[in-house]
Amino acid sequence: MSRIGKQPVAVPAGVNVTVGSGKVSMKGPKGELHLTPHNRMKVAFDNGTRQVTVTRPDDDRLSRSLHGLTRTLIANMVEGVTKGYERKLVVIGLGYKAEIDKKDKRKVILKLGYANEIACTAPEGVTVEVTQMEYRMEGKKEVDKVTAVVVKGADKHKVGQFAADVRAAQPSEPYQGKGIRYDDEKVRRKEGKSKTS
């Protein structure tokens, strides 16, 4: 048995779980999520113990890998509809800005030193905020105020993918550290060219 796959997923009170027609649905305070597991996997929900269990038909390599994956995806759904997921990105650089579009609140406008602005639109179920936060750069003692893009949502995949799309607009470069990075990301700095006489 898979060490992860065999563990039941506890479902807290306030979360409605529906298993049927090859689909798992969950509804909680943070939203509603749906999952269509692989047809090899059997998902069952016990309303008495409030637990979701995943079983596999055999010990094939594919079945073993799908077992743990399916259980993890269901556990992520439970956490998503109860607590939600959040990713913070910081925008560092002189003149670099991020702001929410006034007409569309799901769109982030990035000004990153290019001639044109870059617009990133969040998918359905994902919210975006732009705030100020304190951040300490590598090798600095003082704390600076920087612009932060906060991505929130119930779906872990959507939150992570949109955060990665925003970061990809201008990843941090290693010499001055300018660009967009995750708030917990460590950028390995390089020394610039030294002037030789």
Give residue-wise pLDDT tens across range 120-161: 999 999 999 999 988 887 777 778 889 999 999 999 999 999
Rounded Cα distance between 104 and 106, Å, is 5
Which DSSP helix (H) or strand (E) runs through 27? strand 23-28
CATH number of 33's domain: 3.90.930.12
Q: Is 191 contained in some domain?
A: no
Residues 83-96 have pLDDT tens digits of: 999 999 999 988 89
Please give the average per-residue pLDDT across 61-69, as a whole number.
Answer: 92
Q: Do residues 136 and 149 share a domain?
A: yes
Q: Which of 165, 181, 160 is nearest to 121 (CA)?
A: 165
Q: Do residues 21 and 70 share a domain?
A: yes
| Model pLDDT, residue 144 | 83
More confident residue, 152 or 195: 152
pTM of the predicted model over 0.85: yes
Q: Do residues 92 and 111 share a domain?
A: yes
Please give the average per-residue pLDDT across 57-62, as a whole number.
Answer: 90
Q: Do residues 96 and 175 share a domain?
A: yes
Please give the average per-residue pLDDT across 54-72, as a whole number.
Answer: 92
| Model pLDDT, residue 196 | 62
Q: Do residues 14 and 78 share a domain?
A: yes
Our count of domains for the chain comes to 2
Rounded Cα distance between 100 and 109, Å, is 6
User: Is pLDDT of 1 > 50?
Assistant: no
Q: Do residues 146 and 66 share a domain?
A: no
Q: Which of 70-74, 116-120, 156-160, 189-193 has the lowest mean pLDDT?
A: 189-193
Please give the average per-residue pLDDT across 170-191, as a whole number.
Answer: 87
Q: Could you say which of 82, 117, 136 is where a domain stops?
A: 82
| Model pLDDT, residue 197 | 53
Rounded to a whole number of angstroms, the distance between the first and last alpha carbons of the chain is 67
| Model pLDDT, residue 44 | 93
Q: Do residues 44 and 96 share a domain?
A: no
Rounded Cα distance between 107 and 115, Å, is 19
Q: Do residues 72 and 93 share a domain?
A: no
Q: Do residues 90 and 174 share a domain?
A: yes
Please give the average per-residue pLDDT across 26-36, as a whole number.
Answer: 94
User: Residue 34 belongs to what domain range?
Assistant: 9-82
Please give the average per-residue pLDDT across 31-44, as a whole number.
Answer: 94
Handedness of CA 183, 117, 155, 157 (dihedral sign): negative
Residues 106-124 have pLDDT tens digits of: 999 999 988 999 999 999 9
Rounded Cα distance between 77 and 15, Å, is 10
